[in-house]
Amino acid sequence: MQRIFSGIQPSGIPQLGNYLGALRNWVALQDGHECIYCVVDLHALTQWQEPAQLRQATREMAASLLACGVDARRHILFQQSAVHAHVRLAWLFNCVARMGWLNRMTQFKDKAGKDRENASTGLFVYPNLMAADILTYHATRVPVGDDQRQHLELANDIAKKFNHDYGVEFFPLIEPVILGVAARVMSLRDGTKKMSKSDPSDQSRINLTDDADAIALKIRRARTDPEPLPSEPAGLESRPEARNLVGIFAALADTDVAGVLGEHGGKGFDRFKEVLTALLVAKLTPIAEETKRWLADPATIDAVLREGAARARTIADPIVDEAERLVGLLQP
Ligand code: AQP
């Protein structure tokens, strides 16, 4: 059975893009794979987090994942910082990856913005830690949204260079699993910008904890253009906001863009937004309710994470011990 690894940062409440690009696929892949899912709190630290808030967000993220359907009994769900093998391997990878490789990462450029000199060095080497997260388990399949494609290519470059430098076939190559019509969900306020849980504007995203009223208001206010929906996908070119809403609808209705336009082409946005809101409410409010139920019992969430970390360590530690031996670290 192939091993899957994926992670999500507790840098806010998970949003619709996280769900459609990643979490929904995490759940679907549980049948037929051995899955290891992680709340990557060390990654969240690459941008400043208020400490008490980070602890709470980690628990809330775990609650959301469980509410989405991550099955922590059959698979592993844990918190990254509880398994030290990740940072041990990340240090080895810091010494394998090249500055030039990291300089090309578009996510660093996006997140550092204009003030690159002031970005944390953690943000710069983030992809090395991400490669370590995956390769600590010798995982071969990684379900992610489209924005992570470049980081996974880099992880493969690191694995290949490690194997080459030490004359071994130790790390496997990784295959990204990028599924569905909504692998990149865009902001509701700007169709050229990715929807993000840390975007300062709450109106830019649908949170997985939003209630029906909040969803309705955000969709009503979502930016669109004055034209009605086209009846063919080609008519969405140069209309990023319209394309985004149609893509969201298609993903939630398990159809494709052509299918949505076949049914709703010709409608104005007022009417299309009503049906989209109804679909979002039907799909997301059960998750919000289930998240609340988990959060009412924080001790159980903590126990799930603790037990997951213990099981993760039994896989990770021998692999990272061996990686350290291969590079020549003396093992007393
Ligand atoms: N807009 C998106 N559309 C599709 N997939 C997305 N993902 C994130 N945003 C979208 C996918 O969600 C998974 C977890 O992401 P993450 O939390 O590790 O980091 P991120 O990609 O940086 O997500 P955010 O929401 O934008 O977080 P912040 O605001 O903290 O940077 C990944 O598989 C990602 O592809």
The domain spanning residue 243 has which CATH number? 1.10.240.10
**Does the structure show a pLDDT above 90 at 33?**
yes
At 180, the pLDDT band (50, 70, 90 cuts) reads confident
Distance 195 CA to ligand 1 centre (A): 8
Q: Where do runs of H (alpha helix) occur along the chain? A: 16-18, 24-28, 41-44, 51-68, 85-94, 99-103, 106-112, 121-135, 149-165, 212-221, 240-252, 257-264, 269-295, 298-327
Catalytic: which of 160, 161, 193, 197? 197
Mean pLDDT for the stretch of residues 101-120:
94
Quick one: 139 and 283 in the same domain? no
Residue 332 is predicted with a pLDDT of 78
β-bridge partners, 176: 142
Distance 258 CA to ligand 1 centre (A): 26
**160 in catalytic set:** no
**161 in catalytic set:** no
On whether residue 193 sits in a domain, the answer given is no
Q: pTM for the complete prediction?
A: 0.96
Distance 231 CA to ligand 1 centre (A): 31
On whether residue 11 sits in a domain, the answer given is yes
CATH number of the domain to which 106 belongs: 3.40.50.620
Mean pLDDT for the stretch of residues 12-19:
95
Quick one: 119 and 81 in the same domain? yes
Residue 315 has which token pair? 């896989």
Quick one: 156 and 72 in the same domain? yes
**Does the structure show a pLDDT above 90 at 331?**
no
Mean pLDDT for the stretch of residues 301-309:
98
Alpha-carbon span 136 to 133, nearest angstrom: 6
On whether residue 196 sits in a domain, the answer given is no
Quick one: 122 and 152 in the same domain? yes
Instruction: Of 290, 288, 291, 296, give the one whose Cα is nearest residue 213.
Output: 288
38-80 residue pLDDT tens = 999 999 999 999 999 999 999 999 999 999 999 999 999 999 9
Q: In the chain, pLDDT over 70 holds for what percent of residues?
A: 100
At 295, the pLDDT band (50, 70, 90 cuts) reads very high
Quick one: 258 and 132 in the same domain? no
**Does the structure show a pLDDT above 90 at 182?**
no
Q: In the chain, pLDDT over 90 holds for what percent of residues?
A: 96
Quick one: 41 and 125 in the same domain? yes
Q: For residue 67, give its domain range.
A: 3-182+297-327
**Does the structure show a pLDDT above 90 at 223?**
yes
Quick one: 90 and 138 in the same domain? yes
Mean pLDDT for the stretch of residues 235-249:
96
The total of structural domains in the chain comes to 2
Kindly report the average pLDDT of the chain as a whole number. 96
Order the strands of the 175-177 sheet from edge to edge: 76-79, 34-39, 3-8, 141-143, 175-177
Quick one: 206 and 266 in the same domain? yes
Residue 181 is predicted with a pLDDT of 84
Quick one: 289 and 221 in the same domain? yes
Query: Which residues' Cβ are closer than 6 Å to ligand 1?
Result: 7-9, 11, 15, 17-18, 20-22, 144-145, 147-148, 183-185, 194-198
